[in-house]
Amino acid sequence: MMEAAGVTEELKARDPMRWVGLMNTLKAQVEEMILNEIINE
C-alpha cells in the first residue's frame, strides 16, 4: 500500500509533512480493513 501511495524514504526526506499525512491516511485505511475483517468473521 505504501508503494502504491508513493510513500518513500525520499518523500520523507523531501516533504516530511506530506509523508506524515500519507502515513496517517494509510494507517487509518489499514485499521478500517482489520476492523471489517474482525466484525465480518
- Among 33, 26, 38, 35, CA closest to 1: 26
3-state secondary structure of 32: helix
Q: For 7, which DSSP code? A: -
Mean pLDDT in runs of 10 for the chain (41 residues)? 91 97 96 95 78
3-state secondary structure of 15: coil
What predicted TM-score, i.e. pTM, was given to this entire model?
A: 0.82
For the chain, what is the domain count? 1
Location of C-alpha cell 499525512: 21
**29-38 pLDDT per residue, tens:** 999 999 999 9
The range of the structural domain enclosing residue 11 comes to: 2-39
Per-residue pLDDT at 41: 78
